[in-house]
Amino acid sequence: MDGHETQVPRAVAPAPDPVKEPARVAGDELKYGLRFLRKHGWRMALCFFLLLLPIWGFAALVGELHEKEIFFFDAPILNMLHGIETPGRDRFFVWVSRIGFLWGTIPIDVIVLSWLALRRRFRDSLFFGLAVAGSAVLDVMGKAYFTRARPDLWLSITPENNYSFPSGHAMGSATLGMALIFLCWPTRWRWPMIGGAIVFVVLVGLSRLYLGVHYPSDILAGWCAAIAWVVFMDILVERKAPPPPPTAAPEKDTIGKTAEEVGK
């Protein structure tokens, strides 16, 4: 021997297959979520139906919504907004209404959930997925139960054919806004997100009133139900979610800092 140690080549871990990796990540996320649902699904169901109770009570204040009765403030607010219509405002609120659901809220939901999953942020993706999916189901069930007709005070430029109570736009935008606030809470983006979410949610709700396709009470019910659901999902996942698998990413905030770095 010449005095030099023989170096044994280290085994190099194979690079992840760019085609198979997303499927593997999705499978791990699904298994993690199913573990949570098997153990705590009853808590989610309980919260779901407890949220329906205030909506039912909200509706009972004015009698049967099936008979098209409305709150005392519904018609005056709609008539006031109808009185300020202009072609420019029409175009603006039609655009806001579209990004408040099909053009904006839904694509952002998909992008955020996919990003969290691909980053292997198991707890965050579980929280966000449950918040968005549960809110959507709550909206569908509320509409199916109340079958409240859309306002007919004037002919809307964007008529809707489904039911009115609660507002799906209001629930979807408020769910997205609240969920992003919780995700950004440990970061320096907390306050910009709060401000942006409030502006977005209010504008989406206002657009539905301006276009005459929702009563104010539809918007208020949607906001209240969405906010309560997201808060409960955050508490439930934070307290009851199982430990992430070993392949999960370290606990980080939404801008990539570790918990230790945030605390400095």
Residue 232 placed within a domain: yes
pLDDT digits (tens, 9 = 90+) for 178-209: 999 999 988 888 899 999 999 999 999 999 99
* Higher per-residue confidence, 154 vs 245: 154
Give me the helices (H) in 17-83, please.
Answer: 20-60, 74-82
Residue 261 placed within a domain: no
Residue 120 placed within a domain: yes
Instruction: Point out which residues pair with 63 in neighbouring strands.
Output: none
pLDDT band with cut points at 50, 70 and 90 for residue 32? low
Count of all residues that appear for the chain in the document: 264
pLDDT mean across residues, the chain: 76
pLDDT digits (tens, 9 = 90+) for 133-192: 989 988 888 888 777 888 888 888 888 888 888 899 999 999 999 999 999 988 888 899
pLDDT band with cut points at 50, 70 and 90 for residue 245? low
Among the residue ranges 66-80, 89-103, 140-154, the one predicted with the least confidence is 66-80
Residue 5 placed within a domain: no
Give me the helices (H) in 147-215, please.
Answer: 168-184, 190-210
Question: Domain limits at 102?
Answer: 23-253
Residue 18 placed within a domain: no
Number of compact structural domains in the chain: 1
The answer to whether residue 16 scores a pLDDT higher than 60 is no
Residue 40 placed within a domain: yes
Residues 6+ apart with CB under 8 A from 120: 25, 28, 244, 247, 248, 249
Predicted confidence at residue 73, as pLDDT, reads 82
Residue 262 placed within a domain: no
Cα-based angle 35, 111, 242 (whole degrees, multiple of 5) = 20
The encoded tokens of residue 78 equal: 């709609």
pLDDT band with cut points at 50, 70 and 90 for residue 109? very high
Residue 3 placed within a domain: no
Predicted confidence at residue 258, as pLDDT, reads 39
Rounded-to-integer distance, Cα 163 and Cα 165, Å: 6
pTM, 2 dp: 0.71
